[in-house]
Structure 1
């Protein structure tokens, strides 16, 4: 009897601790009411971050998100900058997804932007961008002739070339330009791509290996609005999220746990996020944040169970490359911070 009481007490204490950890996470809106939909977000450190959005808008903060310097880039007022990669407070690269497909770069904090890539062919649609380091990066685009478009730079975004080793695509398969996180490149130059539509897959390329690996994901798919939207890799463990943006309240098959070593394996979450999620980010050991139009969710046990912490709609969430700052962004110029 005494042992049972001790056991029950231990369970209650663990439950109270877990709930207190989740209650400690809050999201606070910093900016909103701007005429742009933000999907590009790059957090450099605890002070500097950049965002990019529709109608040619970008913004930068140097004080951790308290204030933002906004601009609509002249001559690119119709561009939809779906992703941005910032290296510091002076240097950043942005990509526009529509026609023409564009890549621009600044080295003076956004005072001037220089065009580094332009494609007027309507078959080109850019989805996401990521860098292994300040020089070596990739941009993923929709499939052309049954192959994903993969652009590569080795000089920090000054020049871009189509990769000779682009992954294969199945009919009706594509990636989503929803948050710039359907493509991830590790600092060891492993490449991870998630897809949706007719198939939901993880497409990966490990360092020093020219053979792409293709893995089916236990996420909802088949319709053009369904599939895997985002991936984030932690310490040998990752999370992939998605769902159906056309029915964003559906909670079935919206998240899976990815084990990277020794082989790729997938385990659906026991309790998933509350609906469709367009972005996921590793925060710290065992903790991931995901967000989407139905709100934001957090897991503290590596994706096994999730808890909704906010019902505000966002498109993207990102953590500082060098620091702890975590920001979110979405429609109407909305920018928020996760407080741990």
Structure 2
């Protein structure tokens, strides 16, 4: 009986602690009502972050998001800058989806931008960008002739070249330019891609290996609006999220847990996010944040159970590369902060 009381008290304590953790995690709007849809977000540290969006807009903060310096890049007012990679408060690279496709770079804090890549071919559609370090990075594009487009830079975005050993795509398969997080590159150079449409797959290439690995994901797919939209790698597992953006309240098969050790396995959460999610980000330990049009969700147990913490629509969430700052961004110039 005494042991039973101890068990009950321990269980109650754990439940209350978990509830307190979730209650402490809230989202606060910092900026909104700007004429741009934000999908590109790069948080450098606890002070500096950059965003990029439609109609040629970019913005930067140097005070943890309290104030933002906005700029509509002259000559690119029709460009949709779906992703941005910032290295510090002076240097950043942005990419536009659609036609024509552009890659621009600034070295003076966004005052001027230099064009580093320009493609008018309508078959080119850029989806996401990520860097292993300040020099070595990749940009993923939709498939051309049944192979994903993969651009590589080795000089911090000054020059870009198509790699010959790009991964194969199934007809009807593509990547989503929803948050810049369908492509992830580790600091050791491993490349991870998630796809959707006809099929949902995890496509990966490990360092010192020229053979791509392809694994089907147990996540909603089949239609052009369905599939895996984002992935993030934590300490012991990866999380892949998505669903159906045309039916964003649907909760079936919108998240999957990727366990590498002891075996390569993929499992569904016991309780998943509340609907379609376009971005997921590793926060710390077993904690991940995800967001989408139905709102934002958090897990503190490595993806097994998720709790919705906010119902506001966002497109992307990112954590500081060097620090703890976590920001979210979305339509109408909306930018918010996660309070931990």
CA–CA distance in 2 between the matches of 1:50 and 1:310? 23
Secondary structure of the 2:103 match is: strand
For 1:147-226, list aligned pairs within 5 A.
147-226=147-226
Residue deviations 1:216-251 (CA, integer Å, cap 9, x gap): 001000010000000001113111000000000011
1:109: which partner in 2? 109
Residue equivalent to 2:258: 258
* 1:241 counterpart = 2:241: yes
Q: CA RMSD in A?
A: 0.7
Distance 1:144 1:88 in 2: 33
SS in 2 for 1:118: strand
Instruction: Give per-residue Cα distances to partners, 1:243-292, cap 9 Å, x unaligned.
Output: 00000001110111112345532111111000000000000000000000
- The size of the alignment, in residue pairs, is 340
**SS of structure 1 residue aligned to 2:78:** coil
1:55 maps to which residue?
A: 55
Q: Deviations for 1:293-314, whole angstroms, at most 9, x for unmatched residues?
A: 0000000000000000000000
**Structure 1 residue matching 2:11: 3-state secondary structure:** helix
For 2:27, the equivalent position in structure 1 comes to 27
Q: Which moved more, 1:132-141 or 1:234-243?
A: 234-243
What secondary structure is seen at the aligned counterpart in 2 of 1:338? strand
- Aligned with 1:22: secondary structure? helix
Separation of aligned partners in 2, 1:264 and 1:161:
32
Q: Describe the SS at the equivalent of 2:33.
A: coil
CA distance in 2, matches of 1:132, 1:336: 26
Q: Where has structure 1 moved over 6 Å in runs of 4 or more?
A: none
Matches for 1:68-147 after TM superposition, within 5 Å: 68-147=68-147
Give the TM-score taking structure 2 as reference length.
Answer: 0.99
Match of 2:230 in 1: 230
Cα separation, 1, equivalents of 2:183 and 2:262: 21
Moved more, 164-173 or 260-269: 260-269
SS in structure 2 of the partner of residue 327 of structure 1: strand
Distance in 1 of aligned mates of 2:261 and 2:73: 43
- Counterpart-to-counterpart distance in 1, 2:315 and 2:31: 15
Q: What is residue 15 of structure 1 aligned with on the other side?
A: 15
The Cα shift of 1:2 comes to 2.2
Render the CA deviation track for 1:32-53: whole Å, top value 9, x for unaligned.
0000000000000000000000
Q: Which residue of 2 aligns with 1:338?
A: 338
Distance in 2, Cα, partners of 1:129 & 1:102: 12
Normalised by the length of structure 1, the TM-score is 0.99
Identify unmatched segments of 5+ residues in structure 1: none
Q: Equivalents in 2 of 1:223, 1:182: separation in Å?
A: 17
Once residues 132 and 333 of structure 1 are traced to their aligned partners in structure 2, the CA distance between those partners, rounded to angstroms, is 28
Q: CA separation in 1, counterparts of 2:203 and 2:254? A: 18
The superposition leaves residues 74-111 of structure 1 with CA deviations (integer Å, 9 ceiling, x where unpaired) of 00000000000000000000000010010000000001
Structure 2: gaps spanning 5 or more residues: none
Tell me, in whole angstroms, the C-alpha distance in 2 between the residues paired with 1:151 and 1:236.
29
Instruction: Say if 1:263 and 1:108 are closer, same or farther in 2 by CA, change over 3 A.
Output: farther
Partner of 1:325: 325
2:98 alignment partner, SS class: coil
The equivalent of 1:3 in structure 2 is 3
Q: Write the deviation string for residues 151-210 of structure 1: whole angstroms up to 9, x where unpaired.
A: 000000000000011000001000000000000000000000000001000000001000
CA distance in 1, matches of 2:198, 2:6: 52
Aligned to 2:279: 279
Match of 1:269 in 2: 269
